[in-house]
Structure 1
Amino acid sequence: MVPTLFGRIQTRLWLLAVVGGLVTVLLTPVLPVQAAVADKYRTTFVVLGAVAVIGVAWELVYHLLMQWRWEKDWPTLFGLVTAIPEGVLVGWLATQGLLPFLPGPVPPEVFAIHFAVVWFVVWLVANGPMRVPFVRWRFRGGRLL
């Protein structure tokens, strides 16, 4: 079954909160930035939150674009490539210091490392291991609840 809009939004938020949160906790201490650990965590979690919030808006755009596809769904590779427009938008906001609650502008290389690692791990989990604990996920249009 093709995931519904509501199912994709639920899945995105759950994956970013659980998987993205865990990856962020593990990755933040080794990011190449000179700052207090608390500021590093604050920055990375603000960026993760921005990806979640702005990602819901992107889902609406993707849903509109999918209406012109025969299957009304993305091929798996498109799900990975959607990182580009999302990363460019959130990256620009983060590096300019325009995201609320940021202690300051995020260095571009720090953003790129954090975003790329989180996005890739979330994409891998969504296309593989997630289907084990959520056996019926596919049949419920991607909804978790």
Structure 2
Amino acid sequence: MVPTLCGRIQTRLFLLALVGGVLTALLVPVLPVDAPRPAIYQSAFVVLAAVAVLGVGWELLYHLLMQWRWEKDWPTMFGLLTLVPEGLLVGFLAVSGVLPWLPAPVPLDAFVLHFVVVWIGVWLVANGPMRVPFIRWRFRGGRLM
């Protein structure tokens, strides 16, 4: 079954909260940022929240683009490669310091490391281990609830 728009949004938010939150918490201590630890955690979680919020908009755009595809779905590799446009947008907002609740602009190298690790982690879990505890996930169009 092809994941529905609602299923993709639910899965995205769930995985960003669970997998993204854990990876962010583990990654913050090794990020190349010279700032107090609470400010680094705040910045990292603000960026993660921005990826989640803006991701809903991206899902709407991807859904529109998928309507022109014969099978109305992306190949799995497209799901991985969507990190490029999403990363560019959130990266621009984070590095320029435009995101709300961001204590300071995020250094580019720290953003890239954080974003790529979280994105690949979420993508790997969505395409593998997630199918074990959520056996019926695929048959419900990707919806979790």
TM-score, scaled to structure 2: 0.99
Could you give the per-residue CA deviations for residues 1-51 of structure 1, whole angstroms, max 9, x where no partner exists?
A: 000000000000000000000000000011011111100100000000000
Quote how far apart the aligned CAs of 1:77 are. 0.1
Correspondence 1:43-82 to 2 at 5 A: 43-82=43-82
Q: Which amino acid aligns with 1:2?
A: V
Could you give the per-residue CA deviations for residues 91-145 of structure 1, whole angstroms, max 9, x where no partner exists?
A: 0000000000000110000000000000000000000000000000000000000
Q: Which amino acid aligns with 1:7?
A: G
Name the Cα RMSD after superposition. Answer: 0.3
Task: Give the whole-Å Cα distance in 2 for the aligned partners of 1:18 and 1:121.
Answer: 11
Task: Give the whole-Å Cα distance in 2 for the aligned partners of 1:135 and 1:36.
Answer: 42
Task: Give the whole-Å Cα distance in 1 for the aligned partners of 2:117 and 2:101.
Answer: 22
- Equivalent residue for 1:101? 101
- Equivalent residue for 2:143? 143
Correspondence 1:22-41 to 2 at 5 A: 22-41=22-41
Task: Give the whole-Å Cα distance in 2 for the aligned partners of 1:38 and 1:65.
Answer: 40
- 1:15 maps onto 2:15 in alignment: yes
Which consecutive aligned stretches of 4+ in structure 1 deviate over 4 angstroms post-superposition?
none
Task: Give the whole-Å Cα distance in 2 for the aligned partners of 1:59 and 1:137.
Answer: 18
- Equivalent residue for 1:113? 113
The alignment covers a number of residue pairs equal to 145
- Equivalent residue for 1:42? 42
Ranges in structure 1 where 5+ consecutive residues have no aligned partner: none
TM-score, scaled to structure 1: 0.99
Ranges in structure 2 where 5+ consecutive residues have no aligned partner: none
- Equivalent residue for 1:85? 85
Could you give the per-residue CA deviations for residues 58-98 of structure 1, whole angstroms, max 9, x where no partner exists?
A: 00000000000011000000000000000000000000000
